[in-house]
Amino acid sequence: MAVIGITGGVASGKSSFTARLAPRLAAQVFDADAAARDLLKNDPEARQAVGQRFGSRILGAQGQVDRARLREIVFEDAQERTALEAILHPLIRERWIQAAQVARRDQTWLLVDIPLLFETGAERECDAVVVVACSPETQRERIISRRGLSPEMAEKMIASQTSLASKAVRADYVIWNDAPLARLDEQAELFAGYLLSYG
């Protein structure tokens, strides 16, 4: 039993793989993207810090953070993205480190689904790292068709992240996700079997 970091690029399928692996291991899941959304919606201190840094331009009519507008800003300017990450990442890290401590104490599996695992040094806290990868063409198509974003935004999102190839060479395991979802199911089944036998 272990803490498994699962990372990849935008639209590479890491969350889809995590969702398929978790029930096979009876694992808990920490979703870093969901934690970021929760912080922006429900954490007064995080909302205040983001509001102070980015101003009224990212606030909706009811004073909530307009995540679509915030996304546009941070993918237009690397400095703005770094500023947002400096606010949110320590809070997210604190949450998942606590979850990892509980998993190790209780000897259960924890899957940490985190896009910027290597970028934040989080791999040091994991017992193993999985990178879910696909081709840039597949990434681009998924961002456009599934998320309804423009080709320009898709390119900016992909370019803003460390390449999947660079992440893959640092991984303990690589899951290739260019095929239909049935293949992802098969890989989750095989990987779970391996972990349960040897992990």
In which domain, by residue range, is 132 found? 3-194
Q: How many beta carbons lie within 10 A of that of residue 164, not counting itself?
A: 22
Q: Are 132 and 14 in contact (CB under 8 A)?
A: yes
How would you list the strands of the sheet with 28-31, edge to edge? 28-31, 110-113, 3-8, 128-133, 173-176
pLDDT digits (tens, 9 = 90+) for 2-30: 999 999 999 999 999 999 999 999 999 99
Tens of pLDDT, residues 64-118: 899 989 999 998 898 999 999 999 999 999 999 999 999 999 999 999 999 999 9
Give domain status of residue 94, yes or no.
Answer: yes
- The 10 Å Cβ neighbour count of residue 162 is 15
Asked if the structure places residue 199 within a domain, the reply is no
Average pLDDT of the chain is 94
Does a structural domain hold residue 67? yes
**pLDDT, position 138:** 95
121 inside domain? yes
Q: Are 41 and 106 in contact (CB under 8 A)?
A: no
Count up the domains in the chain and report the number: 1
34-62 pLDDT tens trace: 999 999 999 999 999 999 999 989 988 77
Residue 13 included in any domain: yes
90 domain residue, yes or no: yes
Annotate 38-81 with DSSP letters as a single string: HHHHH-HHHHHHHHHHHGGGGB-TTS-B-HHHHHHHHHH-HHHH
Residue 199 has pLDDT above 80, yes or no: no
At 184, the amino acid letter reads L
User: Any idea what the CATH number is for the domain that residue 78 is in?
Assistant: 3.40.50.300
